[in-house]
Amino acid sequence: MTTERREPAYLYSERDAADRSEIARRFIETRKGLNTIVDAADNYLLKRFYNIDHNTYLEGAIPAKYKELMGLVVSAGLRCDDCINYHIIQSFRLGATRQEQEESLNVALVVGGSIVIPHLRRAYALLAELYPQSP
């Protein structure tokens, strides 16, 4: 039973995120550079994995925004800075408020414990740039 299949409607582009945040800009640029190298390898199974990965976060029974925030929670719980940056930016692009981002990070903190804190600090630095009006 699966219906996840519609592309979400982004409120902001990656470029919008990069314009607001230097941390986002450098992350997006570095990832793009490395993805070019990965794409050149043209690895069949890797491309299929990327495709499943993409489909997992589409609009479905759960709105895409919450799926990206779920991705943020598990990324923080598993302590992957690049993944945290990615899902914060994706959630931002889908209209998540700063408060929603922080509540998601709180779930990761309580589940994953204080070893999550160094990642949380860096996540808050990105949030501060993406949401400059929020305290």
Subset of 30-59 contacting a second copy (CB under 8 A): 31, 34-35, 37-38, 40-46, 48-49, 52-53, 55-57
CB of 94 to a second copy, least distance (A): 13
First to last CA, the chain: 42
Whose Cβ is closer to a second copy: residue 13's or residue 35's?
Answer: 35
Window 13-32: residues binding a second copy (CB under 8 A): 31
Write out the two tokens for 104.
């998601």
> What does the block give as tokens for 12?
């902001």
Choice from 14, 25, 95, 107 touching a second copy (CB under 8 A): 107
Question: Of the ranges 9-17, 18-26, 61-69, which one interacts with a second copy (CB under 8 A)?
Answer: 61-69
Residue 63: CB atoms within 10 Å: 13
Which listed residue (9, 13, 125, 132) binds a second copy by CB under 8 A?
125
Of 89, 85, 93, 90, nearest to 12 by C-alpha is: 93
Least distance (Å) between residue 19 CB and a second copy = 20
Rounded to the nearest 5 percent, the helix, strand and coil shares of the chain are 75, 0, 25
Q: Does 133 bind a second copy (CB under 8 A)?
A: no
Phi, psi of 94 (to 5 degrees): -95, 10
